[in-house]
Structures are given as structure tokens and as C-alpha cells.
Amino acid sequence: MITYNTAALLFPAISLIMLAYTNRFLALAALVRSLHAKYLEHNKGGVLKGQIGNLRYRLNLLRHMQGMGVLSFIACITCMYGIYLDNTLIAEISFASSLLFFTVSLVISFIEIQLSNKALELELSDMDDHRKKSTNKNEE
């Protein structure tokens, strides 16, 4: 049987993950603004175009992550309400739903982290290319 304590365990976990998602969003927003300034300034091709596509997709994933987190929170609240009403069926279904939404949110987060690493690799490879070009010019 589900008790208040069982459902209450999800509240801090969901709250923390939502805070992490918000921080991730703020970091991505800053990056988008920085890339926008760089785009307007001079570089309109190559790595920048790849980064823009990557960021657009990551922002979309972040929206879904946050949405699943919110649904998880709502389902957890519904579970608490089911417990309050002493309705085991509502409590169990909503608790299972909350766990499912939370899991989906974390899976999407994992995918977004992989894309973030790809974006950093793109930046590093671009810096390597510039370093190699400048090394070759110095050797000539």
C-alpha cells in the first residue's frame, strides 16, 4: 500500500531535477545569445551553423524534459490526493505515472547531455583545425 511517505519521496527528487533543468535552460539561453552575437558579428558558416542546429534540437529536448518533469510533479500531487481520499487505485496509478514521467524526463536528459558533448567536440575540432592551419602557415 502506498503511504504519504512513499509519495513524498518523489517531491524533493522532482524539485531538484526541475532546478537542474532550469539551470540547463539558463546556460543554453546564454549560449544561444552568445552565438547570436558571434553570428551577427562575422562568422556565418561552418561550425556556427552546426552549433545552431544542435542548440535548436537541444532546446526542444529541454522543453520536453521540463514538460515530463511537470507531469511527474502533477501525477505525484494526484497520488497524494488519492491517498488523502483513501482511494488506493488513484494513488497507485498516479504514483506509477509519476515514476514513468520522471523516467522519461531523465532519458531525454541523457540524450540532451550526449548532444551537449557532441557540440563541445565540434568546438574542439574547430579549434584543432585552426591550430593546425596556423602551425602549417608558421612552418612555411
For residue range 18-39, list pLDDT tens digits in order: 888 888 888 888 887 787 777 6
Q: Kindly report the pTM of this predicted structure.
A: 0.73
Distance CA(95)–CA(4), nearest Å, equals 11
Q: Taking all residues of the chain, what is their mean pLDDT, rounded to a whole number?
A: 83
For the stretch 104-116, what's the b/e string if a residue is b when 16 or more beta carbons lie within 10 angstroms of its beta carbon?
bbeebbeebeeeb
For the chain, the domain total comes to 1
Instruction: State which residues form the domain around 9.
Output: 4-133
Span 119-126, average pLDDT: 72
86: left (phi over 0), alpha (psi -120 to 50) or beta: left
In a domain, 115, yes or no: yes
In a domain, 139, yes or no: no
In a domain, 44, yes or no: yes
In a domain, 112, yes or no: yes
User: Out of 21-30, 57-66, 95-104, 118-127, which region has the weakest mean confidence (pLDDT)?
Assistant: 118-127
Closest to 100 (Cα-Cα) out of 14, 1, 18: 14
CA 88 to chain centre: 33
| Upper half-sphere CA count for residue 109 (Cβ side, 13 Å) | 20
In a domain, 140, yes or no: no
pLDDT at 134: 67
More confident residue, 42 or 84: 84
In a domain, 126, yes or no: yes
Span 107-123, average pLDDT: 84
Span 73-91, average pLDDT: 93
43: left (phi over 0), alpha (psi -120 to 50) or beta: beta
Q: How many residues does the chain have?
A: 140
Distance CA(26)–CA(125), nearest Å, equals 25
Q: Is the pLDDT of residue 126 over 70?
A: no
In a domain, 138, yes or no: no
User: Out of 15-19, 44-48, 89-93, which region has the weakest mean confidence (pLDDT)?
Assistant: 44-48
